[in-house]
Amino acid sequence: MPQSAGARLLGLALLWHCAQGDVDNVFPVLYASNPVARHVACPVPAGMPTVCQLAAHEANNMSLQFLITTLPASGALYETSQNFRTYGTDPKYAPIPIQEHELPFRVGDVLSRVVYVPPSDVFPPEGRWGAFSYTVQEASTGSMSQPGQVSLSSPAHHVAASTYISGTDAWTISGNIHSTTPTWQAFGWGLLNRYIYGEDEVQYIDFDTGSDRSKWYFEAPPGKYYLPELAAAYGGSIRFTIASTYGDFTHLNSPLDFITLDCASCNSGRGLRIVRYADNGLEWDGSERVIEVPVKVGHFWQRDPLSLALPFTVATECEIAAVLAGLTRVRILGDFTRAGEGIALDDVSISSSSVQPMFPLACLQGCVCAHDPRARRVSCCGSDPSIYHPIT
């Protein structure tokens, strides 16, 4: 039967949209909200085969298959051994590790466990050993989840960390005139032992407020801190040691955005920033101090509206979770005083909770996208139809 003119026009329209990259979002990318592969962290001691528990959710309690989709870059991932499944005895892992050509690899353990063996004769890393991802599939319908991330964290539960043992660890300084690299100090000073140091190079004072109009920050390197497995750190903490060498801490800038986390892909691609100010127990007078801030809802994180015309709001659970899942910037404030100051920083870490999984299930199921209510994604968390505006 010959096609009608309307059918031919529809076909041409579909081809045109495909050729143009679907700029009008006629065919939005599908996001699976059921079943769900949970993000988890698995702390691994040096030289010890460690059992890692995978986790998933299915709304109707249907049985699920767990599929390993990527392997860690270092160490080896194994199936659990038959004797471990039956009796809980060593050796915990099968004789042969999971190989690249076997991916996606279906996990045979009915309790959804795998074993990670770290590289032999190696000290624990500052942050994680590595990471791998997995999906879950509902067998009867074939429904597949979005990838879940597994962070193989250090014995101290660090997912990302910098101790500055041998250098600046690629940290940078932003907001100064000349210096973009902190100074590495190769000696001990109180709790600080081989640390990085920065100084204020400019005082650009706003005469209306008396505070600096431009502040300087320590910024984390992308290779260690801006990876998807950082999602497993939800419910954990950010920790560092800080001290000042000089500065008048009786005259402080305002506001003091102590810790800032950014996600460029969040809020439907418009960016999302959360800030922990130096308040509610986080006030600092310049003396040596260990700072530790839980990274979860209810701990005074604020959402930056990225507009001077809008107020800051309390960051929601999914806003914090989405920023960790898509982290693209970590900043720690150095410019506390209205005059000059020198700040030393050491032992920065982002750690996971000892209880897993902690990443909120509702956020993993996706947030409704303001630009298209048909779509749901973690990256749409924080998008607000009341303030939505198109990219120009």
Residues 4-30 pLDDT 10s: 555 555 555 555 555 455 545 555 567
Q: Of 104, 126, 155, which residue is a domain's last?
A: 155
Find the mean pLDDT for residues 353-361: 97
The whole-angstrom separation of Cα 382 and Cα 292 is 25
The whole-angstrom separation of Cα 302 and Cα 347 is 24
Is the domain of 307 the same as that of 218?
yes
Is the domain of 137 the same as that of 197?
no
Is the domain of 169 the same as that of 265?
yes
pLDDT tens digits, 48-88: 999 999 999 999 999 999 999 999 999 999 999 999 999 99
Q: Does pLDDT of 240 surpass 80?
A: yes
How many independent structural domains does the chain possess? 2
Is the domain of 174 the same as that of 323?
yes
Residue type (1 letter), 109: D
Is the domain of 323 the same as that of 260?
yes
Q: What is the pTM of this model?
A: 0.89
The whole-angstrom separation of Cα 153 and Cα 233 is 10
Which pLDDT band, with edges at 50, 70 and 90, does 210 fall under? Answer: low
Is the domain of 250 the same as that of 347?
yes
Looking at residue 268, its pLDDT comes to: 84
Residue of 179 and 363 predicted with greater confidence: 363
Would residue 29 count as lying in a domain?
Answer: no
Would residue 229 count as lying in a domain?
Answer: yes
Print the domain residue range for 332.
Answer: 160-351
Looking at residue 20, its pLDDT comes to: 53
Coil, strand, or helix at residue 223? helix
Q: Does pLDDT of 106 surpass 90?
A: yes
Record the tokens describing residue 80, joined without a space: 């659990």
Would residue 328 count as lying in a domain?
Answer: yes
Record the tokens describing residue 216, joined without a space: 């300087």
Find the mean pLDDT for residues 210-230: 88
Is the domain of 259 the same as that of 341?
yes
Would residue 127 count as lying in a domain?
Answer: yes
The CA-based angle 41-351-269, given to 5 degrees, is 80
Would residue 379 count as lying in a domain?
Answer: no
Would residue 77 count as lying in a domain?
Answer: yes
Would residue 112 count as lying in a domain?
Answer: yes
Looking at residue 355, its pLDDT comes to: 96
Would residue 308 count as lying in a domain?
Answer: yes
Q: Does pLDDT of 250 surpass 70?
A: yes
Is the domain of 137 the same as that of 248?
no
Is the domain of 170 the same as that of 312?
yes
Give the domain CATH number at 252.
2.60.120.260
Is the domain of 147 the same as that of 173?
no
- Other C-beta atoms within 10 Å of 219: how many? 20
Q: Of 155, 186, 219, which residue is a domain's last?
A: 155
Give the domain CATH number at 128.
2.60.40
Lowest-pLDDT choice from 94-103, 145-154, 374-383: 374-383
Is the domain of 70 the same as that of 213?
no
Helices (H), 94-186: none
Rounded to the nearest integer, the mean pLDDT of the chain is: 90
Q: Which residue has the tokens 């190989």?
A: 99
The whole-angstrom separation of Cα 37 and Cα 228 is 14
Looking at residue 5, its pLDDT comes to: 57
Is the domain of 258 the same as that of 195?
yes
Q: Of 114, 129, 155, which residue is a domain's last?
A: 155
pLDDT tens digits, 270-318: 899 999 999 999 999 999 999 999 999 999 999 999 888 889 999 999 9
